[in-house]
Amino acid sequence: MPISPHVWIQVGEYEKMRDNRVKRERKQINMQGLILEGTTEDSVRLSNNIELVADLSPRQVRVEIHAAGVCGSDLSCVHGKYYMPTPLVPGHEAAGKVVEVGSAVTYCQKGDHVILSTFGNCGHCPECEDGHPGNCRNGGMGGLTQPYREDDQLLYNFANIGAFVQETIVNENQCIPIPKEMPLASASLIGCGVITGTGAVFNRAKVQIGDTVVVIGAGGVGLNVIQAANLVGASQIVAIDRVAEKESLARDFGATDFIVSEGEDFDAVAAVKEILPFGAHHAFEVVGHTGLLSEAINMTRPGGNICAVGVPDLTATVTYGFQSLHQNKQLMGIRAGGAKPRKDFPMLADLYMRGKLKLDEMISNTSGLEGIQGAFDAMKIGTEARTVLLPHG
């Protein structure tokens, strides 16, 4: 906001006053960001006029977003499948730099590079105390606030973050510091796609050395199920996808077998059982298709795990044949990889820095915020793993 110099201010006083004003109003600098106003891809538009409205509370942090991956959940959010109020700033898979911290913040400091977590958990309820921040009783995960506005209109954030904007405000425990040498575009993926896939393997299914695994869907999350299963020593990892071009990437990440699901009479269960006659120890459904979930149950051997990683419309109903689950199988709901972000994110960043976790290979494309429609198009075609938006170019 420009300040008019008044004639009665002494020379030098104006500059001093302007500097103070700039400091106080730093959060009111207009930013570029994306705003969702409906339930179609066309209802996402670029704004150059977004402002942060709130001062930081003692445990909040202001973060400059430098990289934000476009995840399947962003498309689901835009399509109204999560029933979010609008107008809303989408985006939730992000990394950036801390630019301001509240008075009581101790976990990170100005200048830190951080991966953002969607968990705004309280840290002190019984579930948090028990080590399950994703189950927080105080509405911590995927919550909504309105930290910005465009003109007089307040804007919600998606999943406690709202990352498709140049700056956002989050809680202290959503900021997980990482080494400054780590590229932020690669780091951003850990915040959702990577933890959702690897966490399903490490935290929930607890895949053991020698186990067999089926992964339905070899996109951004599926590739991380594959590489995590490979890291823990799964003996066979069977990937299924409708796009044949994904085979080489899936094999690079550790898939031992690749099945293309094409044709009207394609039978996924029969195709898997040709490779694993008794079924797999673990079947991961990553697409978010309820019909595939019932097929995943039939691909699993007695005693096995069926992992519902993909998220359909939140009101969807799943049906399965009783007998298919009856033989001591576990059907697991898995949200965000059962993550413990403060433990898991540094561990994943460390594996990357040591060359043991693939992240760069997942980035098919980078773009400014205006690239969102292209990212959605690529996602629907299914040939690319991830587009990462760079709000600061």
- Least Å distance between CB 212 and Zn ion? 27
Q: Which amino acid is at 228?
A: A
Q: Judged by CB under 5 A, does residue 309 bind Zn ion? A: no
d(CA 255, CA 69): 23
Closer CB to Zn ion, residue 125 or residue 275? 125
Q: Are the beta carbons of 220 and 70 closer than 8 angstroms? A: no
Task: Provide the Cα torsion 255, 311, 61, 341; round to 10°.
Answer: -50
- Least Å distance between CB 147 and Zn ion? 19
Q: Judged by CB under 5 A, does residue 73 bind Zn ion? A: yes
Closer CB to Zn ion, residue 101 or residue 128? 128
Q: Are the beta carbons of 202 and 228 closer than 8 angstroms? A: yes
DSSP code string of 379-390: HHHT--SEEEE-
Closest alpha carbon to 155 in 92, 94, 91, 89 = 89
Among 32, 47, 117, 121, binds Zn ion (CB under 5 A): 121
d(CA 136, CA 257): 38
Closer CB to Zn ion, residue 104 or residue 244? 104
- Least Å distance between CB 221 and Zn ion? 8
| Secondary structure of residue 164 in the 3-state scheme | coil
Q: Kindly report the backbone phi and psi dihedral angles of residue 371, in degrees, each rounded to the nearest multiple of 5, phi listed first.
A: -85, 10
Among 128, 200, 237, 249, binds Zn ion (CB under 5 A): 128
What number of CA atoms fall less than 13 Å from residue 329's CA on the CB side?
27
Residues 186-205 that bind Zn ion (CB under 5 A): 192
- Least Å distance between CB 68 and Zn ion? 10
- Least Å distance between CB 393 and Zn ion? 23
d(CA 50, CA 150): 5
CA 21, chain centre distance (Å): 36
- Least Å distance between CB 323 and Zn ion? 34
Q: Kindly report the backbone phi and psi dihedral angles of residue 28, in degrees, each rounded to the nearest multiple of 5, phi listed first.
A: -90, 10
Closer CB to Zn ion, residue 26 or residue 124? 124
- Least Å distance between CB 169 and Zn ion? 20
- Least Å distance between CB 67 and Zn ion? 14
Among 53, 75, 99, 122, binds Zn ion (CB under 5 A): 122
Q: Are the beta carbons of 378 and 364 closer than 8 angstroms? A: yes
Closest alpha carbon to 305 in 235, 213, 225, 241 = 213
Q: Judged by CB under 5 A, does residue 99 bind Zn ion? A: no
Closer CB to Zn ion, residue 128 or residue 296? 128
Identify any residues that bridge with 240 across adjacent strands, giving them in sequence order: 216, 259
Q: Judged by CB under 5 A, does residue 125 bind Zn ion? A: yes
Q: Judged by CB under 5 A, does residue 76 bind Zn ion? A: no
Closer CB to Zn ion, residue 121 or residue 256? 121
Report how many residues bind Zn ion under the rule CB under 5 A. Answer: 9
| Helices marked H in 263-362 | 268-275, 290-298, 322-326, 341-353
Q: Judged by CB under 5 A, does residue 159 bind Zn ion? A: no
Residues 129-158 that bind Zn ion (CB under 5 A): 136, 138
Alpha carbon separation from 343 to 76, 176, 338 (Å, rounded): 28, 9, 12
How many beta carbons lie within 10 A of that of residue 31, not counting itself?
A: 22
- Least Å distance between CB 188 and Zn ion? 11
Q: Kindly report the backbone phi and psi dihedral angles of residue 81, in degrees, each rounded to the nearest multiple of 5, phi listed first.
A: -75, -10
Closer CB to Zn ion, residue 71 or residue 280? 71
Q: Judged by CB under 5 A, does residue 297 bind Zn ion? A: no
- Least Å distance between CB 306 and Zn ion? 21
- Least Å distance between CB 127 and Zn ion? 6
Q: Judged by CB under 5 A, does residue 71 bind Zn ion? A: yes
Closer CB to Zn ion, residue 47 or residue 173? 173
Closer CB to Zn ion, residue 53 or residue 125? 125
Question: Beta strand 153-157 with 148-150: parallel, antiparallel or unpaired?
Answer: antiparallel
Closer CB to Zn ion, residue 99 or residue 125? 125
Closer CB to Zn ion, residue 136 or residue 175? 136
Q: Judged by CB under 5 A, does residue 117 bind Zn ion? A: no
Interface residues toward Zn ion, by CB under 5 A: 71, 73, 121-122, 125, 128, 136, 138, 192
